[in-house]
């Protein structure tokens, strides 16, 4: 098969490989918090893994820093065993102290 046309470059979101950086997920409106590892993150979402497979609801909050002050609301878009694909659902950050602009990639 021959092609005489120029190749079209597919533009993707910038991603950061985090090599299993520690993070935390919060479900049930903050009642349950579990440690996880962030494999990669982009402005639109993240890929995380957990130590064991468990039933994650469709929505959760992801905390990327150990101080637990910023939680990013997420929607689970896919599941494969103990690996989950998350989509950030809003640009607003839920903060325990003062709210700041959301920048999931910039905080790492």
At residue 4, the pLDDT reads: 64
In a domain, 71, yes or no: yes
Number of domains in the chain: 1
Distances 61 to 6, 8, 68, 76, 78 between C-alpha atoms, Å: 43, 36, 11, 10, 15
Per the model's pLDDT, the better-predicted residue between 8 and 46 turns out to be 46
SS3 at position 76: strand
In a domain, 100, yes or no: no
- Give the domain range for residue 87: 16-95
pLDDT (tens digit per residue) in 11-43:
655 666 667 889 999 887 777 888 999 999 888
Domain at 53, CATH number: 2.40.10.430
Query: Are the CB atoms for 25 and 76 separated by under 8 Å?
Result: no
pLDDT (tens digit per residue) in 43-74:
899 999 998 777 777 889 999 887 767 889 99
Neighbours of 31 (CB within 10 A): 7
pTM as predicted: 0.66
């Amino acid at each position: 098969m021959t092609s005489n046309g120029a190749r079209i470059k597919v533009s993707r979101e910038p991603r950061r490989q985090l090599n299993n950086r520690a993070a935390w997920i919060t479900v049930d409106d903050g009642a349950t918090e579990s440690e996880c590892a962030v494999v990669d993150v982009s402005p639109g979402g993240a890929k995380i893994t957990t130590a064991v497979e468990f039933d994650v609801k469709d929505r959760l909050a992801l905390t990327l820093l150990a101080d637990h002050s910023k939680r990013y609301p997420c929607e689970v878009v896919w599941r494969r065993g103990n690996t989950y694909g998350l989509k950030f659902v809003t640009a607003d950050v839920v903060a325990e102290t003062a709210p700041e602009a959301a920048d999931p990639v910039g905080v790492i």
